[in-house]
Amino acid sequence: MMTPQRYRPRRMRLGEPLRSLVRETRLSANQLVMPLFVRSGKRVRAPIPSMPGQFQLSVDEVVNECRELHGHGVSAVLLFGLADRKDERGSGAYAKDGIVPQAVRAIKAQVPGLLVMTDVCLCAYTSHGHCGIVKYAQGSRLKALGKRGSKKQPSAESEFWIDNDATLELIAKTAVSHAEAGADLVAPSDMMDGNVGAVRQALDASGFDRVPILAYAVKFASSLYAPFRQAVESAPQFSDRRSYQMDSANTDEALREAALDIEQGADILMVKPALAYLDIIHRLKQAFHYPVAAFSVSGEYAMVKAASARGWLSERPVWVELLLAMKRAGADLLITYWAKDAAKLLREQ
């Protein structure tokens, strides 16, 4: 007969009270952030086909949604705006009466206890769908195409580039317009070099030195964003975003990106997407000891929704497991389309 082990891990797995006693990682509603899509109109609650259970909401509906989220214990929302009109320079992004400032004002007035974060970028407002100012190569076929805002033209990367420094000015203006409306945190997602510094400087100069920056420090050029682009109608009309978003293969570069954002004044570091990049979340947490936010993106949500609709997975235990994995990797905040469901579940327990 074998000598029994002195330490038997199974002893502490017998029954939920014991398991719960030694559980290392927990979800908590006050670290959940719900992304919301806001558009013009009244009483609009337009379902997003690729993201079942998510909607494009008019300002009045976004307020109702926020009230409900806050009631369930969710602490924060992250707002994405949809443009009524688009142009080359994304002017709707930094319009003082733009859709995001309108929503921020309404939410802050009617659900004052809820933290309102805003995504700061141009891509939902530009005719070409890129996150910055597009410059076209001399004599480029795209010069004409881009101006007309024409759809999905094949192109080579050599035919255009995104003007980094010209974009910074507009990103900073966008952030200030959100802060003026009362945003509690701003989150620049354009992935231009120097964006966090530009936003910090502009906020400080406008008297918003107390508004923190949630930096999309490490944003990969991911195929998992596809359902989101349907949600905010922001797919690039030509080429892709690989000249500014990060290559999925890189981890050292992720650390350099995060270090730059910290140097420029980032208060929270975000990793996006989450699930395929848990190693990055882990490395960032280990290296910098900063609050880390994991953005569990639309594709992660859509995959689970689609599989569970076919009966191939059971939705709830899967997202619980996925959200725990992000926490375990080192994330503090979880930005997730399951924020409301998770907060409800936590209330029941």
Owner of token pair 């594709």: 299
**CB of 50 or CB of 126, closer to Zn ion:** 126
| The only residue of 121, 231, 246, 268 in contact with Zn ion, by rule CB under 5 A | 121
**Structure token digits, residue 30:** 């006050």
Q: How many residues in the shown chain lie near Zn ion by CB under 5 A? A: 3
Report if residue 175 touches Zn ion, rule: CB under 5 A.
Answer: no
Report if residue 246 touches Zn ion, rule: CB under 5 A.
Answer: no
Instruction: Please spell the DSSP secondary structure of 57-108, one letter per residue.
Output: EEHHHHHHHHHHHHHTT--EEEEEE--SS-BTT-GGGS-TT-HHHHHHHHHH
User: Beta strands of 121-256 (E only): which ranges?
Assistant: 133-136, 160-163, 185-188, 214-219
Confirm if 269 and 217 have CB atoms less than 8 A apart. yes
**CB of 87 or CB of 279, closer to Zn ion:** 87
Give the interface segment with Zn ion, choosing from 49-57, 120-128, 138-146, 338-346 (CB under 5 A): 120-128
Confirm if 117 and 184 have CB atoms less than 8 A apart. yes
Confirm if 70 and 111 have CB atoms less than 8 A apart. yes
**CB of 193 or CB of 332, closer to Zn ion:** 193
Give the interface segment with Zn ion, choosing from 22-30, 68-76, 128-136, 263-271 (CB under 5 A): 128-136
Question: Binding string, 131-160, against Zn ion, x = CB under 5 A?
Answer: x-----------------------------
Distances (CA, A) of 254 to 1, 87, 127, 228: 53, 32, 30, 23
CB of 190 to Zn ion, least distance (A): 5
**CB of 69 or CB of 293, closer to Zn ion:** 293
Give the interface segment with Zn ion, choosing from 32-40, 123-131, 180-188, 297-305 (CB under 5 A): 123-131
- Using alpha carbons only, how large is the chain's radius of gyration in Å? 21
Separation of alpha carbons 17 and 19, rounded Å:
6
Q: Annotated active-site positions, please?
A: 219, 272
Give the interface segment with Zn ion, choosing from 38-46, 126-134, 142-150, 203-211 (CB under 5 A): 126-134
Report if residue 123 touches Zn ion, rule: CB under 5 A.
Answer: yes
Binding site for Zn ion (CB under 5 A): 121, 123, 131
